[in-house]
């Protein structure tokens, strides 16, 4: 979920947004990537694998964002998972915030790039 500028540029900008609740990170780039992969694959196992995480690590991550993900236990496909309506909305809003940031700072970013390239 990094928003980077085009390849070919010698400098790129990486943007990370973290949503923090009560001294504890509740939603950051890693969890957002996991949500996106669950949405894409319909499987917690496949999402974990795509991120190079153990199944248990991915499982523990979704325990901290229960209203966002629904897992199918006891079904034929261990690790079957999908986003709830709230999860899909949260993912979309996070991505929208990221897009808002990238668009709004693009002009200043060009100036900073020129400055740092000398």
First to last CA, the chain: 29
Query: How would DSSP label each residue in 84-101?
Result: -HHHHHHHHHHHHHHHHH
Letters for 37-76 (x = contact with a second copy by CB under 8 A, - = none) are ------------------------------x---------
Instruction: Please give the residues from 83 up to 112 whose contact with a second copy meets the rule CB under 8 A.
Output: 86, 89-90, 93-94, 96-98, 100-101, 103-105, 108-109, 111-112
Q: H/E element holding 81? A: strand 81-83
77 vs 92 by CB, closer to a second copy? 92
Residue from 1, 27, 53, 54 touching a second copy (CB under 8 A): that is 27
Residue from 1, 6, 16, 52 touching a second copy (CB under 8 A): that is 16
CA distance readout (Å), 87 to 42, 66, 84, 113: 13, 9, 5, 36
32 CB-contact burial (10 Å; exposed 0-12 / middle 13-18 / buried 19+): buried
List interacting residues with a second copy (CB under 8 A): 4, 10-22, 26-27, 67, 86, 89-90, 93-94, 96-98, 100-101, 103-105, 108-109, 111-112, 115-116, 118
């Amino acid at each position: 979920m990094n928003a980077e500028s085009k390849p070919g540029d010698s400098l790129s900008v990486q943007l990370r947004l973290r949503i923090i609740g009560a001294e504890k990170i509740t939603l950051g780039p890693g969890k957002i990537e996991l949500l996106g992969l669950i949405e894409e694959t319909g499987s917690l196992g496949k999402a974990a694998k795509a991120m190079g995480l153990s199944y248990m690590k991915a499982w523990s991550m979704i325990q901290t964002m229960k209203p966002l993900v629904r897992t199918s236990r006891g079904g034929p496909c261990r690790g079957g998972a999908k986003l709830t309506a709230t999860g899909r909305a949260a993912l979309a809003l996070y991505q929208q915030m990221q897009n808002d940031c990238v668009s709004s700072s693009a002009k200043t970013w060009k100036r900073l790039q020129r400055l740092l390239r000398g």
